[in-house]
Amino acid sequence: MIKLEKEVINVKRLIELIVNGMSYEIAVDTHRTLLEVLRDNLGFTGTKNGCDQGECGSCTVLIDGRAVHSCLTLAMDAQGKNIETIEGLSEGEKLHPIQQSFVDHGAIQCGFCTPGMIMSSKGLLDKNPSPTEDEIKRGISGNLCRCTGYVKIVDAIKAVEGR
C-alpha cells in the first residue's frame, strides 16, 4: 500500500535568515519550508498559507528582489538571502505607497490574498516602475483573488505614487 513516511534520521540545523533587513539565527528541521519557518518560528504571519502547492500565490515573498512562492522554497535554501515580507513594507504607521494605493482603491476585500498580491506588485514595480496594464496583469497572474475581480487591484497598482 502507499508508504507515507520514511524513517530518516533528522537533525536540526542552525541557519541564518535575513528577513526585512534583520538577521535571525534559528535552528530548523531541514524539511521545513520557508513559509513554515516565517510563520511558525519567526512569527511573520502576514505571509499567508493558502494552497501550499504554489497555485494561489498568497505565500509570495521577495527573495533577492524576485517574487517566489515561500511554500515551495526550503528554508535551508533561503539562508543568507535577502527575504522581504509584507511586514517590512510600512514604516510604523506610514503605509508603503503600494499598500496605501490598495487601501485607496478598495483593492482589498477579505484581505487574504493582499500580502501576496502586494509582494508580487512590489517585485514587478521594483523592476519596471511604469508597467502597462498588460504587464501588470502578467505580473500578478500568479496570485488568485476571489473577491475583487482584479479590476481594482490593477487600478491600484497603476496608480502607485512615485511611479
Partner 1 sequence: MSLPKFDYQAPQTLDEAVLLLSKAKKDAKVIAGGTDLVVAMKQRRITPALVVNIKGIKGLEYIKNGKGELRIGALTPLSSIEESELIREKFPALAKAAGAVGAPQHRNAGTIGGNICLNTRCWYYNQSPFFRKCRPVCYKFGSDKDKCQLFPTREGKANVCYSVFSGDTAPALIALGAKIKIKGPEGEKTIPLTELYTGDGKRPIALAPADIVTEVTVPSPPENSSSAYMKYRVREAIDFPLLGVAVSIALDAGSGTCKNASVVLGAVASRPVEVTEAEKILKGKKITEDLIEQVGEAAFKAAKPLANLLECSPQYRKRLAKVFTKRAIKSALEIIKSA
Q: Rule CB under 8 A: which residues touch partner 1?
A: 1-6, 8-10, 13, 29-33, 36, 52-55, 57, 60, 66-69, 71-74, 76-77, 120, 123-124, 138-139, 141-143
Neighbour tally for 153: CB within 10 Å = 28
Alpha-carbon distance 108 to 6, whole Å? Answer: 43
Alpha-carbon distance 140 to 126, whole Å? Answer: 14
**Grid cell at residue 46:** 502576514
Nearer to partner 1, 88 or 116 (CB): 116
How near is the Cβ of 98 to partner 1 at its closest, in Å?
16
Alpha-carbon distance 28 to 137, whole Å? Answer: 36
Q: Which residue has the cell 512615485?
A: 162
How near is the Cβ of 92 to partner 1 at its closest, in Å?
29
Nearer to partner 1, 29 or 161 (CB): 29
Nearer to partner 1, 90 or 128 (CB): 128
How near is the Cβ of 5 to partner 1 at its closest, in Å?
6
Nearer to partner 1, 57 or 115 (CB): 57
Task: For residue 162, give Cα distances in angstroms to 52, 91, 97.
Answer: 34, 16, 8
How near is the Cβ of 39 to partner 1 at its closest, in Å?
12
Alpha-carbon distance 2 to 54, whole Å? Answer: 24
How near is the Cβ of 129 to partner 1 at its closest, in Å?
16
**Residue 127: partners with Cβ closer than 8 Å, 6 or more residues away:** 65
Nearer to partner 1, 9 or 14 (CB): 9
